[in-house]
Structure 1
Amino acid sequence: MPTYRQTLGQETFRFDSLARVMAAASPLRSGDELAGLAAESELARVAAQMILADLPLREFLEEVLVPYEEDEVTRLIIDSHDAAAFAPVAHMTVGQFRDWLLSNAADTAALKRLAPGITPEMAAAVSKLMRNRDLIAVARKIEVTTAFRSTMGLPGRVSSRLQPNHPTDDPAGVAASIIDGLLFGVGDAMIGINPATDNVPAAIALIELLDDLRQSYEMPTQSCVLTHVTNSIEIINRGAPLDLVFQSIAGTEAANRGFGIDLAMLAEAHDAGRSLNRGTVGQNLMYFETGQGAALSANAHHGMDEQTVETRAYAVARAFDPFLVNTVVGFIGPEYLYDGKQITRAGLEDHFCAKLMGVPMGCDVCYTNHSNADQDDMDGLVTLLSDAGCGFFIAVPGADDVMLNYQSLSYHDVLYLRESFGRRAAPEFEAWLEKMQIVDAQGRIRAEDHRLIQSMAGRRAALPA
């Protein structure tokens, strides 16, 4: 294993592995400090970034950060690498790759062709040489489009997951939150519930509620109950109307084992979901959530910094052609992302790296109540991500998730993005919003009574008592 050296002035910095170079080059975050991986000084960070800038991209194919024999995610990354897609940048160093990404040569078409050739470690490495503005400038050029009943990722669009969580999974409370969100034009990405009780019968009850509401109002969206993937397989076997298959994923085999999954299990769930053939405009149906700190919190990071191991989760996602992925960026807590600045940086990194790899990445712009962050920080991050072309955000009533007890975005924030950035909902869902007179021909929310309210009055049976 090589030793990496860089001299700055009278001081020489030594790193005993590529993983240590990557960790030291990473912008400061509390999780890396907790793991003893952070650069010992700003000068050491610059030295590591200089080493990284001169490193050939090919080195990440030759020196893996987790041994091939020990980790199925490493095997997935290496075995699925597309050498032909990689060829246009194969001669570059990480620094040259950064410069190319920021050039006009790296246009939307070129970045789409390149995506299968970029490994997670390459994406993480180049992100460590970029300022926030660089991450935004490149990400906004990348388009990743997927479809199920509505189409995600189209230019000029921003979509949202309507998250109607309830502390007791009360059907009336869930339905009320759904109707509230629909009146704001939210929900084109999905209506997705984190169940308070994670078992098969409880999940089926929520799935049937969501499907009844969707069919009653002929909504071109998809539903998801965020239960464990083994539950989803059983739910499918029992004939329930499941749309999207959910699972939290991470970037190492050991971390995924902590979630109770492996790649074979995800493949089984993907095949089971496809067998239902419930999509109308496409068949992308996997929904994954990730987040910096997940592998570290499970002591399953193999000495990698939290941002690098996070990008490896995107290789897992990419293998299953997902409908959507999102980083739950501030959810794990201040032990891993201490404050608003670190959360902002992580959100921009996650979005950039995933899209560079061809993954349809969105974001739960969020923080826990014991973090050194507030809603102003979230306003800043969602604005930056919208500038970067992020196509999907999570929204909850009043920005306060009363079941998971964390802070996210509100339904109002989705309106802000559409009005300030000129973005509109997914085309299929927007047509439904117009039909129900929730929005006008310009996509703006109507203040007066409209057909959804009128329809509810005549169809009380569709709502729980």
Structure 2
Amino acid sequence: MGFRKSLGSRSYVFADLRSLMAKASPLRSGDCLSGVAAATSEERIAAALILAEVPLKRFLDEPLIPYEEDEVTRVILDDHQPDSFERISGLTVGDLRNWLLSDAVGTEDLAQVARGLTPEMVAAVSKIMRNQDLILVSAKCRVVTRFRNTLGLDGCLSVRLQPNHPTDDVRGVGASIIDGLLNGAGDAVIGVNPASDNLRETSRILLLLDKVRQKFDIPTQTCVLGHVTTTLKAIEGGLPVDLVFQSIGGTEGVNRSFGVSVSLLEEAYDAALSLGRGTVGNNVMYFETGQGSALSANAHHGVDQQTIEARAYGLARRFKPLLVNSVVGFIGPEYLYDGKQIIRAGLEDHFCGKLLGLPMGVDICYTNHAEADQDDMDTLLTLLGVAGINYIMGVPGSDDIMLGYQSTSFHDALYIRRVLGKRPAPEFEAWLKKMGVTDERGDLIRHADVQALLKFEGT
């Protein structure tokens, strides 16, 4: 059944819910590239007005990608919890927006309905919300996860220490680790993207990371962000694997292009759990996502890229991850053209993930051929900090020389913690104080006695 809306003398027709969702999306280059975007601002407004009147139940009755054709759709609908949905089952998309923004709805209310919401529902409501609406609701969401420390607590903001090196040189990786630790980064994870995704290189980096962690008794987790099949081989070989990483998308087709399936992720999840390496919890998965990945794989089914992104969160939710990271500006200007689109997408991704109950981080980033700069990233960093993001990236100098993109630095993390009064994960903060890196207030001690770290033989 289609939709029709008249604005003045003009009538707009939308063939189905999939088309309506796409036309209601804020403008972005990826939707234009795929041919699903609204042709004019007026058409976009007409679609948003209709979308606000759509009952939430319709998203259960009318999947955007058929159940029989896509295993991500099957995960989303099979995992839906009717009891959690009951409280909001009579609402429209517009009603849901008003409910989320209500002062009477707090953190516990949002947690209670999280498993009753589908990715398509949260994507729909995000399309009719202003940036400040996304920030306000996100700030009310709290998702706490645990492995060797506790992430996502109120008042905390964690940092992934990202010590990538273009040749996987262990001395270069080690030097960046020390740099990050001395700037208070690393409580989310010390995670390396390997330049060479093979078992030999993965083994070398895993052993280095675990050596540093054990030598200084750091209450954090480590990860080599290789393909899940490489990590499975590392687990089978008895290597020190804390977290299993994998990039995922919102359709079966895009995941196939990544070389993964739901069954493979389930195998890896069970393997990581069997190691029992966590000390305060057992959240063992780390997922990364990004708007545009389905379009680049020609696996988007005519669905807009933001809704596909939210569907990836529906898949991630099944595996109770420690970390989920939207690498928001990494794929390029073909999908998010400029700073304005990157900022909006980052706020949407964070909102949708947190509302679905995921521990969201955002790689606040851009490629050098995008119409964006570090001022745009400062803006998005500040907005996400206000919105209660769980963690951000810490890259030496904000310039990842291996992946070739611009992100946030250790000093950016210090800025946002200082200006918003945020602290690291409590176990990690206690370690920073014990090592003399920070004082009792959490401020860096520039003249600290940190010789033990600086003398580490692997740097």
TM-score range, shorter chain: over 0.9
Q: State the match for 2:343 in structure 1.
A: 344
Q: State the match for 2:36 in structure 1.
A: 37
Q: State the match for 1:171 in structure 2.
A: 170
Q: State the match for 1:360 in structure 2.
A: 359
Q: CA deviation at 1:391?
A: 1.5
Segments of structure 1 that go 5 or more residues without pairing to the other structure are none
User: Distance in 1 between the 2:223 and 2:287 partners?
Assistant: 11
User: Distance in 2 between the 1:67 and 1:418 partners?
Assistant: 44
Instruction: Map Cα deviations across residues 57-88 of structure 1 (whole Å, 9 max, x no partner).
Output: 00000000001101011111111110010111
User: Distance in 2 between the 1:328 and 1:239 partners?
Assistant: 30
State how 1:309-324 maps to structure 2 within 5 Å.
309-324=308-323
User: Distance in 2 between the 1:190 and 1:108 partners?
Assistant: 26
User: Distance in 2 between the 1:449 and 1:68 partners?
Assistant: 58
Q: State the match for 1:190 in structure 2.
A: 189
User: Distance in 2 between the 1:292 and 1:87 partners?
Assistant: 30
User: Distance in 2 between the 1:369 and 1:245 partners?
Assistant: 30
Letter aligned with residue 95 of structure 2: Q
User: Distance in 2 between the 1:41 and 1:148 partners?
Assistant: 48
For 2:365, what is the secondary structure of its paired residue? coil
User: Distance in 2 between the 1:261 and 1:399 partners?
Assistant: 30
Letter aligned with residue 228 of structure 1: H
Letter aligned with residue 300 of structure 1: A
CA contact (8 A) 2:160 2:393 kept: yes
Q: State the match for 2:452 in structure 1.
A: 454
Q: State the match for 2:55 in structure 1.
A: 56
State how 1:266-281 maps to structure 2 within 5 Å.
266-281=265-280
Q: CA deviation at 1:437?
A: 0.5
For 1:192, what is the secondary structure of its paired residue? strand
For 1:326, what is the secondary structure of its paired residue? strand
Letter aligned with residue 85 of structure 2: F
State how 1:409-428 maps to structure 2 within 5 Å.
409-428=408-427
Aligned-pair Cα RMSD in Å: 0.7
Q: State the match for 1:139 in structure 2.
A: 138
Letter aligned with residue 436 of structure 2: Q
Letter aligned with residue 162 of structure 2: Q
Letter aligned with residue 248 of structure 2: I
Is 1:80 matched up with 2:75?
no
CA contact (8 A) 2:178 2:454 kept: no
Q: CA deviation at 1:453?
A: 2.0
Q: State the match for 2:129 in structure 1.
A: 130
Q: CA deviation at 1:133?
A: 0.3
User: Distance in 1 between the 2:99 and 2:452 partners?
Assistant: 55
Q: State the match for 1:435 in structure 2.
A: 434
Instruction: Map Cα deviations across residues 288-324 of structure 1 (whole Å, 9 max, x no partner).
Output: 0001001111110000000001100001100000000
Instruction: Map Cα deviations across residues 118-156 of structure 1 (whole Å, 9 max, x no partner).
Output: 000000000000000000000000000000001110000
User: Distance in 1 between the 2:412 and 2:115 partners?
Assistant: 33
For 2:223, what is the secondary structure of its paired residue? strand
TM-score with structure 1 setting the length: 0.98
User: Distance in 2 between the 1:82 and 1:65 partners?
Assistant: 19
User: Distance in 2 between the 1:455 and 1:125 partners?
Assistant: 49
Is 1:308 matched up with 2:314?
no
State how 1:92-241 maps to structure 2 within 5 Å.
92-241=91-240
Deviation beyond 6 Å, 4+ runs, structure 1: none
Q: State the match for 2:293 in structure 1.
A: 294
User: Distance in 2 between the 1:106 and 1:232 partners?
Assistant: 41
Q: State the match for 1:69 in structure 2.
A: 68
Q: CA deviation at 1:447?
A: 1.1
Q: State the match for 2:384 in structure 1.
A: 385
Q: State the match for 1:334 in structure 2.
A: 333
Letter aligned with residue 167 of structure 2: T
Instruction: Map Cα deviations across residues 157-189 of structure 1 (whole Å, 9 max, x no partner).
Output: 000000000000001000000000001000000
Is 1:246 matched up with 2:251?
no
User: Distance in 2 between the 1:342 and 1:144 partners?
Assistant: 26
User: Distance in 2 between the 1:140 and 1:282 partners?
Assistant: 24
CA contact (8 A) 2:347 2:384 kept: yes
Letter aligned with residue 61 of structure 1: L
User: Distance in 1 between the 2:350 and 2:134 partners?
Assistant: 9
Instruction: Map Cα deviations across residues 240-279 of structure 1 (whole Å, 9 max, x no partner).
Output: 0010100000000011000000000000000000111000
User: Distance in 2 between the 1:6 and 1:279 partners?
Assistant: 54
User: Distance in 1 between the 2:188 and 2:132 partners?
Assistant: 27
Q: CA deviation at 1:449?
A: 2.8
For 1:143, what is the secondary structure of its paired residue? coil
Letter aligned with residue 239 of structure 1: G
For 1:6, what is the secondary structure of its paired residue? strand
CA contact (8 A) 2:224 2:245 kept: yes
For 1:198, what is the secondary structure of its paired residue? coil
User: Distance in 2 between the 1:429 and 1:395 partners?
Assistant: 15
TM-score with structure 2 setting the length: 0.99
Count of aligned residue pairs for this structure pair: 459
Is 1:397 matched up with 2:396?
yes
For 2:11, what is the secondary structure of its paired residue? strand
User: Distance in 2 between the 1:300 and 1:4 partners?
Assistant: 25
User: Distance in 1 between the 2:334 and 2:452 partners?
Assistant: 48
Segments of structure 2 that go 5 or more residues without pairing to the other structure are none
Instruction: Map Cα deviations across residues 188-234 of structure 1 (whole Å, 9 max, x no partner).
Output: 00100000011011101100000001101110010000000011111
Q: CA deviation at 1:455?
A: 4.8
User: Distance in 2 between the 1:272 and 1:10 partners?
Assistant: 61
Percent of matched pairs sharing the same residue: 59
